């Protein structure tokens, strides 16, 4: 499985910890940056990672900024992306199981590294349940196709 990563300066430490954690589990990781604590704009990095997921170059994506909110909203502007900002393991499991989210966003300033890694594991180890949830996904994507 190939995972696209992206962050701004406020999410650098958590993104780097996630990258190391994923590589230790033998995931293929493509890191779209940023690579320093110099102030940058999170939409630039959200777009790069989201485009990789949307095009099929990556199977899913993980984004990090200070809160996870701005970078997640930015990713959702890319056609085909369903990115959920999550701050707990239950939400991480459910966003995959019920919403078939292909990206998640985390906030380094509100989550921390330990919980952040647990959230990533919960998300990656969950599976979409399909069934009644697929109808809802189809409706979401219909809204997207009408408006994007």
Among candidate residues 7, 9, 60, 65, the one labeled active-site is: 65
Known catalytic residue: 9? no
Residue 133 is a catalytic residue: no
Phi-psi region of 134 (alpha: psi -120 to 50; beta: other; left: phi over 0): alpha
| Among 14, 123, 10, CA closest to 59 | 123
Mind telling me the catalytic residues?
65, 98
């Amino acid at each position: 499985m190939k995972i696209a990563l992206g962050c701004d300066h406020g999410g650098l430490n958590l993104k780097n910890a996630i990258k190391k954690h994923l590589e230790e589990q033998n995931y293929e990781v493509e890191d779209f940056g940023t690579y320093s604590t110099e102030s940058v704009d999170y939409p630039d990095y959200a777009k790069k990672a989201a485009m990789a997921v949307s095009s099929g170059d990556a199977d899913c994506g993980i984004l990090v900024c200070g809160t996870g909110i701005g970078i997640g909203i930015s990713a959702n502007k890319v056609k085909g992306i369903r990115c959920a900002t999550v701050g707990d393991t239950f939400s991480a499991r459910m966003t995959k199981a019920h919403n078939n989210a292909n990206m998640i966003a985390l906030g380094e300033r509100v989550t921390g590294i330990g919980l952040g890694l647990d959230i990533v594991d919960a998300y990656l180890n969950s599976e979409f349940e399909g069934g009644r949830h697929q109808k809802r996904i189809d409706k979401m994507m219909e809204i997207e196709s009408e408006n994007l």
